[in-house]
Amino acid sequence: MLHHAFFWLNNPASREDRDALIRGLETLRAIPLIRTLTIGVPALTEQRDVVESGFAVSELMVFDSLADQNAYQSHPLHQRFVEECSHLWSKVVVYDVEALP
Amino acid sequence: MLHHAFFWLNNPASREDRDALIRGLETLRAIPLIRTLTIGVPALTEQRDVVESGFAVSELMVFDSLADQNAYQSHPLHQRFVEECSHLWSKVVVYDVEALP
């Protein structure tokens, strides 16, 4: 399954805050439950009405199962990330997707 | 780069409409510009405040470049998909993400 989270910053203009959040997300790589982790920023595609480009950073994780994603939520490294970085963001939107075969 | 689109249905309760949209998305696999295409539906994860689960179907595409994503937008198979399926959806939200190395 896919777990795609998008983060809006409290200080959208702060490159420092953005980079601190990216460094925080990098610490999640040590969680073995995560099959792959892709960290990203808005791509400079055409600004169409349907394109949401206000977020600052995104994380796309692939898990083998729903159970693994649930276990990730309570993993100590994830909880430490939330404690240390949640002051940086004003909004988070998460999409959990079951991939079709 | 990642191109992740989420579709809300005009008739959210219609399994038929959902499946028609999924069949439409499957036709996009014939577009060579798309490196990978993952079609999905909401996963049955815990319903937390930050989790957006109202969409019916999602498509995650990986492209080699911004230029390929732009070319995809005007590809005849993509345009045919929009013509044939856009009556099914009420809202689309797209996130275009530049993956960090």
Q: How far lies B70's CA from each of A10, A46, B17, B41, B58, in Å?
A: 31, 8, 28, 25, 19
Which token pair is A18?
Answer: 């953005």
Q: What is the ipTM of this complex?
A: 0.95
Residues of B with CB under 8 A from a CB of A: 1-6, 22, 38-46, 48, 50-53, 55, 58, 60, 66, 69-70, 73, 92-100
Chain B interface disruption, residue of A7, A95, A98, most B CBs within 10 A: A95
What is the structure's pLDDT at A22?
98
CATH architecture observed for domain A10-38+62-88:
2-Layer Sandwich (3.30)
Question: Mean per-residue pLDDT for A19-34?
Answer: 98
**Do residues A90 and A10 make contact, with C-beta atoms less than 8 angstroms apart?**
yes
Comparing CA positions, the residue from B83, B95, B25, B97 lying closest to residue B56 is B25
- With cut-offs at 50, 70 and 90, classify the pLDDT of residue B47: confident
Q: How far lies B59's CA from each of A12, A62, B101, in Å?
A: 27, 15, 23
CA of B91: which chain A residue's CA is closest?
A50
What is the structure's pLDDT at B46?
86
- With cut-offs at 50, 70 and 90, classify the pLDDT of residue B40: very high
The reported pTM is 0.96
CA distance B61 to B53: 19
Max Cα-Cα span within chain A? 41
Question: Mean per-residue pLDDT for B19-26?
Answer: 98
